[in-house]
Structure 1
């Protein structure tokens, strides 16, 4: 059974797979007794505690031929465009992201863009003689409407959106699937697939939208590790050379400025326990249905908290023991209502001693870089 990462301090979640205190005590007592075998005749099959969502494959987004990731790099971000197989508007009500070569698929994102992106897609797609196009930090195309409708990272399960909701998809829209290939374990042709489930566009469904949150990443070298690679400016120069102009919105000073901070706010950060946070002012009343957090392999913990440092503080999502291999898009049992004037704080915590090549780490696209990132699934407030 996949582990359940949110703590009991989080909002109550749908599909909660956590063990009860009684279950934990039974397992602990069994282990303390030496894990004895029971009598085969006494076995009673347990009731199903959790069933995986079954996503209907009304359309499958998949390349006709495998994509061979770029040679000579550790990380390759590639985007692929797919046209919705619909003649009338529909709602996307679920998806299942199925990595082909799982060892090299770090994460995937499904974007929905309108046809204003068609010129850029036509120009970029296959321009280097290979399927798709390179796309660090987003889709790499301009569009008047871009929606983040699906995400996958190790541990993400098949996803059905909350009952009565979906993302509106028009016949002229375009899906862009961005896949981050991490190639430290090798390089193979990949045909990752995404199953898409639709409902009729004239259904009485509420339209979904996604809010994205980014926070600073400032992770010093562990105590006792010294050298040029432990300098912040070295880390910034490295990321600039790797990611170029596309990285501009994730430059460390830009992220700090967006969060109303400076680097001096993190003067006491140490590599063994590096923490950053960002407070977001809620701009209008919103109905929030779920949340997703994302760190990389140095992650220790992740939190989203509403109105921190007040009497009304509410922990939305608390993952106290981060595991890169078990990430999911969590849905609340009851909608969370937030309004203008509320503050949402995202806090990320890392341990740089987990790295086999310690250096100062800033926001970056590679698996050995780090992120402090979240999405909120909300009822679309736009008409």
Structure 2
């Protein structure tokens, strides 16, 4: 059993680490303080070919696979979680539905500039009264001559209002089937479409440099060629793209936990109390040992889920497990790191304070921890009954 990464992925990981150390980490605190989405960094990520890592080569992507994607996420997220979260949303739920279900023309018009990093995109699912209950969305798409009219609202949508946003793919109810079940479709709505509005950037506990907004659709007309995939199976199509999203958020949690661990070890080797570095005290050493063990356990859960995806093997359970565990490890390790930093960790100018603030959302976004446990238990029980 070989746990080593391919040499190509090792080289890619090193390249991204060097880039992140130079272009992201030194500026992350300033972006966070100003709530600034760093357009220039995303342009450079595009130049490196990283904005289309999971997209087919024929549309300008790298088609590098999930293991390579996780390796890159480790390095971007280790430098800054806001940049990593925006890159993640763009790379998975915003781009994959177009790649999986879009027409050739849709891919040429929208997927190609997304893969190149010329533009980024968003996906609109969550609403004020629907999130974990995805089937509860109330945004509607009404069939009219030549297209569809959208009415409704979305909230907590990432990447929708940046200077380089191309548009948003919106999940909307399209009708009711013969058995009374709701039907859903996905529609790509370009930025600037009449009837499509957005609120000011939302003020958040963390991810301050990530653009997050409420979106509104009022008599918003899109032509037939903006329907992505099947007009009645849009929800199941979205769920198909959700498993890679879960693995990627698990990798985001892993990157945060690794960053928090590194900051704790560094500070423990600098801070002195009672005439000694605090890292020489057993209480601190034991904290670091527990943190490192959990980070390593999370790492291999995440990479295994990614490997299964690359092998085209069933991975829904493993993706949910990785997302659940890595997100909760990120919170535990970030908290322990703040404890090791003491009063300095509570100050906003300390790097660990930013990671600590960013950690909680990992247990909420891309399916809450409670939803992951539902998914895992259902699959485990189903396996036991075979």
**Bin for the TM-score computed over the shorter chain:** under 0.3
Question: Higher relative CO (CA 8 A, sep ≥ 6), structure 1 or 2?
Answer: 1
What TM-score results when the alignment is normalised by the length of structure 2? 0.26
User: Which structure carries more helix by proportion?
Assistant: 2
